Structure 1
Amino acid sequence: MRTVKKMASAVTIAAFLLCCSFVSSKGSQDDCVYAATGSSYTVPLGHKLKESESLKWLKDASVVFHRRQKQVITGKNDDVDSTGSLKLTQLTKEKSGRYKPEVFNAEGKIVGGNLQSTHLCVIDSVKKPKVTMKCIGAQKNVSFSCNIGQNEKIKWLMNDKPLAEKGNTLTKVAKDVANAHFSCNISNTVSFEISLPVKQDCYKSVFPDTLFGISIWVFVGGGAGIVLVLILIVIICCIQTKRKRRLRLKDERELRLQWASQEQQHQHHRHHHQHQHPNQNNSDQHQHHHPHHHQQQPAGNTGPRQNRTKQPRTQQRPRAPEPANGQPQPSPRRATQASAPAGNGGEEQPPPLPQPRKKTPKAPKE
C-alpha cells in the first residue's frame, strides 16, 4: 500500500515539473528578442556604470564578459560600449540565449538592484519565394502556389495590392484575371521577401497586353492624342478660311458701294453741267456734225472708198441770197437741229446708228 502511494506521488511530481517546464519554455519564447542570422545586436545594460564598479555579463549560466574596474578578466574591451552594454556581432543561432548583467562595487557587493535580462533568439532570414502557375478545369481556372517555410507568414498580392486569401495556394477564374500579375510576400519576425510577379497564360485575351515591350495603352493614348491634335488643326484652319472669306466679301461689297457712289456722283455732275451749259453742248454737237463732202458710191460697191478731195481754203463757199428785208435766214440744218430738242422735251438725240452694207452679187470674171 505504501508503495502505491509513493508511486502516485512520484507521478504527480513529474507531471507538475513537466507542466512547469512547458510553461517556462513557452514564456521564454514569448519574451524573445529576435535578430536575424549574420546581423548585429546590442544588449542594453540598464544601469549607469561608474569607473569604480565591476561589470559581468552572463549568457545563461556562463560568463561571456568580466571586467573588474578597468581590468578585463574575460572577453575583450570591444565586447562592450562606453555605457557597458554588450555588443554582439555576426550573430548565429548558437548565440541565442538569455543575457543578464551583474554590477559590483569596490567591496564586491551587487549594486543596481535586480537588473533586467534579455532573451535573444537568432533566426534565419526568409528566402526569396517563387510563385508557380498551373491551369485547372480545362484551362478555365488558374492556381498559383508559393513556397513557404516554417514560422513564416504569407500574403498574396494582385497588381501590388494585398488580397484577403491566406495559404500557400491561390485559385482564380482565368478570364477574370486575364491581365493581372500575382506575387506572394513571405515574412517572419526579422525579415520579409516578395516574389517576382507571375501572369496566367490559361486564358488569352483578343488584344495583347504589350506591344514591342510597351504597354498597349501607351499606343492607344498616343493615337488618341494625335487624333485630337489633328481635329484641332482642322477646326482652326476652317475658322481661318471662313474668316478670310468673310473679310474678302466685305471688301468686295465696300468696293462695289464705293464704285456705285462714284458713278452716281459722276452722272449727277455731268447732268448738272449739261443743264448749266446747253448752248455750249449744241455748239459742240454742231462741230461734231460738220458736213463733209463725200463722193457717193453706187449701191452694192464693196471696193475701197475713194479719197476725199480737199478743197482749197482760199475757195469760198457760195452764199445763199439774202432776203428782201435784209435779215439773215437760218440754214435748213440749223433749223432741224433747233427743232429736234423742243419735240423731245429738251433732251439731246443721239446720232443714228450705222447700217450694214448691202451685198450685191459679184459680176463673173471674164
Structure 2
Amino acid sequence: MACFVPSLGFIVLLGFVTTSAAYRDTCDLYATVGQNLTLPFVYERLESRDNLQWIHNNKFIFKRHQGRVTFGKPDDVSVTGSLLLKTLKSSSAGLYQADVSYPNGTLAKTWTGYLCLMDKVTKPYLSFVCDYKSGVVTLNCHVAKPQDVMFSWTLDERPFSETRSTGSITLSLFKEWGGFTCAAANKVSKEKSDIVRPMCKKPSPSPPPLLCFTSKAVVAVLAGGVSVILLLLFIIIITLCCCYRRNKTTKSKGTGQLRMLSLTPRSADPVSSDYETMHASEPSPLPRYWNWSCLCVTNVIHNLKH
C-alpha cells in the first residue's frame, strides 16, 4: 500500500504536466503586453458565500472562501467570477484555471484556458513592380515581422481575393483601377497601409549593344601593334644604314675614277666640233645595286646634315 500511494501521486502529476503541455501547444486566448484582459469565465449563479479560486501556472492568484478573500483583491474578479487582468506583462502568459464550489465543498463549475502574448503588427507599406515582358504588375505588402500575420487586399475599396503578402494583377486590367491597399492582422491587432496608386511607364528601348572586348583581347591587340611598330622601325633603321653605306661607297669609287682620268694624258688630235655634237657624252648608267628608294633616303640624310 505504501508503494501504491507514490505511484498514484506520480500519475496525477504526470497527467497535470501533460495537460499543461497540451495547453502550451494550443493557445485559447491572445493578448499583447500592456493590454487589459478579462478572462472569459462566467458563472451566473455565483453567490458571495460560494468558494472561488483562480490559479495561474500552479500558483494561487485569487482565493475567496465563504465570503472572505485570502489571495488577491476583491475587485480582481467580476460578479460572475471572471478574472480581470490589468497591464499584462510577459510573465502573465500561461495556464489559468478557475474553480467554483458550494459552501459544502461540492464543485459547481471549473474552467481552464491558456493565454499567449503576441506583439502588435506594424503598419504595412505597399510596393509594386511593373513587368512589361510578362505583362504583370506585382504588389508586395511589407511588415516588420510577417510570422503569424494574415494579409488582405482592397482595390478601389473593394476586397481582392488574395491572402498572401504578394499579389499580382494583369497589366492591361491594372490601368483600369486606381488605389490599392493592404492590411496585416494577427490575433491581437490589425493595421492598414496607405493608398497607393501605381504608375507603370513603359521603358524606352535600349540602345544597340556596343562591341565589347575582354581585357585579354585588348592587351593582345596592343602587344601586336607595338610589335609591328618596332618591326617597322627596325626595318627602316636597317634600310637607312644600308643606303647610307652604299652611298658612301659609291662616292668613293666616283672620286677614284676622276683622279685616274686626270692623270691620263689627253690625245693631241683635236676633236672636231661636229664629232662632239654627234657624239655628245651621255650620262653613265647608275650601278646595279643603286636603289631609287636608297637615293631618296640619301637625299634626306644629306639635307639633314646641311
**TM-score between both structures, scaled by the size of structure 1:** 0.43
Tell me by how many angstroms 1:147 deviates: 1.5
Tell me by how many angstroms 1:31 deviates: 5.7
Q: Return the alpha-carbon distance in structure 2 between the equivalents of residues 175 and 104 of structure 1.
A: 68
Corresponding residue of 1:191 = 189
Amino acid of the residue matched to residue 132 of structure 1? S
Corresponding residue of 1:130 = 125
Amino acid of the residue matched to residue 89 of structure 1? K
Q: Return the alpha-carbon distance in structure 2 between the equivalents of residues 176 and 103 of structure 1.
A: 62
1:172-211 aligned within 5 A? 172-178=169-175, 179-203=177-201
Q: Return the alpha-carbon distance in structure 2 between the equivalents of residues 53 and 95 of structure 1.
A: 26
Distance 1:82 1:47, change over 3 A: closer
Aligned 8 A contact 1:39 1:89 in 2: yes
Amino acid of the residue matched to residue 163 of structure 1? F
Distance 1:53 1:172, change over 3 A: closer
Tell me by how many angstroms 1:168 deviates: 1.6
1:163 aligns with 2:160: yes
Tell me by how many angstroms 1:137 deviates: 4.1
Q: Return the alpha-carbon distance in structure 2 between the equivalents of residues 92 and 69 of structure 1.
A: 31
Q: Pick from 113, 121, 129: which aligns with 1:118? A: 113
Amino acid of the residue matched to residue 36 of structure 2? S
Aligned 8 A contact 1:143 1:169 in 2: yes
Q: Return the alpha-carbon distance in structure 1 between the equivalents of residues 168 and 102 of structure 2.
A: 66
Gaps (5+ residues) in structure 2? 1-13, 203-306
Corresponding residue of 2:36 = 40
Q: Pick from 55, 64, 67: which aligns with 2:61? A: 64
Distance 1:110 1:141, change over 3 A: same
How many residues align? The count is 183
Amino acid of the residue matched to residue 188 of structure 1? N
Q: Return the alpha-carbon distance in structure 1 between the equivalents of residues 47 and 116 of structure 2.
A: 30
Q: Return the alpha-carbon distance in structure 1 between the equivalents of residues 170 and 47 of structure 2.
A: 69
Cα RMSD between the aligned structures? 3.1
Tell me by how many angstroms 1:67 deviates: 2.3
Tell me by how many angstroms 1:45 deviates: 4.2
Tell me by how many angstroms 1:62 deviates: 0.8
Aligned 8 A contact 2:24 2:94 in 1: no
Q: Return the alpha-carbon distance in structure 2 between the equivalents of residues 158 and 139 of structure 1.
A: 21
1:89 aligns with 2:92: no
Aligned 8 A contact 1:133 1:198 in 2: no
Tell me by how many angstroms 1:88 deviates: 1.3
Q: Return the alpha-carbon distance in structure 1 between the equivalents of residues 53 and 20 of structure 2.
A: 25
Amino acid of the residue matched to residue 169 of structure 2? K
Distance 1:165 1:97, change over 3 A: same
Q: Return the alpha-carbon distance in structure 2 between the equivalents of residues 132 and 26 of structure 1.
A: 41
Tell me by how many angstroms 1:174 deviates: 3.8
Aligned 8 A contact 1:140 1:174 in 2: yes
Q: Return the alpha-carbon distance in structure 2 between the equivalents of residues 66 and 192 of structure 1.
A: 36
Q: Pick from 98, 101, 122: which aligns with 1:101? A: 98
Corresponding residue of 2:283 = none
Aligned 8 A contact 1:182 1:198 in 2: yes
Deviations 1:321-363 (A, max 9, x none): xxxxxxxxxxxxxxxxxxxxxxxxxxxxxxxxxxxxxxxxxxx
Partner SS state of residue 45, structure 2: coil
Amino acid of the residue matched to residue 140 of structure 2? S
Deviations 1:126-185 (A, max 9, x none): 222110123334796432211141111112221122222342222334443135221112
Amino acid of the residue matched to residue 187 of structure 1? A
Deviations 1:273-321 (A, max 9, x none): xxxxxxxxxxxxxxxxxxxxxxxxxxxxxxxxxxxxxxxxxxxxxxxxx
Tell me by how many angstroms 1:195 deviates: 1.0
Partner SS state of residue 81, structure 2: coil
Q: Quick one: higher RCO (CA 8 Å, sep 6+), 1 or 2?
A: 2
Aligned 8 A contact 1:40 1:91 in 2: yes
Gaps (5+ residues) in structure 1? 1-16, 205-366
Corresponding residue of 1:337 = none
Q: Return the alpha-carbon distance in structure 2 between the equivalents of residues 198 and 173 of structure 1.
A: 17
Q: Return the alpha-carbon distance in structure 1 between the equivalents of residues 192 and 73 of structure 2.
A: 40
Distance 1:81 1:202, change over 3 A: same
Based on CA coordinates, which of the two structures has the bigger radius of gyration? 1
Q: Return the alpha-carbon distance in structure 2 between the equivalents of residues 106 and 46 of structure 1.
A: 15
Q: Pick from 107, 125, 145: which aligns with 2:140? A: 145
Amino acid of the residue matched to residue 135 of structure 1? C
Tell me by how many angstroms 1:58 deviates: 0.4
Partner SS state of residue 176, structure 1: helix
Tell me by how many angstroms 1:78 deviates: 1.7
Tell me by how many angstroms 1:82 deviates: 2.4
Question: Post-superposition, which runs of at least 4 consecutive aligned residues in structure 1 deviate over 6 A?
Answer: none
Aligned 8 A contact 1:174 1:203 in 2: no
Q: Return the alpha-carbon distance in structure 1 between the equivalents of residues 20 and 51 of structure 2.
A: 31
Aligned 8 A contact 1:184 1:195 in 2: yes
Distance 1:173 1:47, change over 3 A: closer
Distance 1:47 1:171, change over 3 A: closer
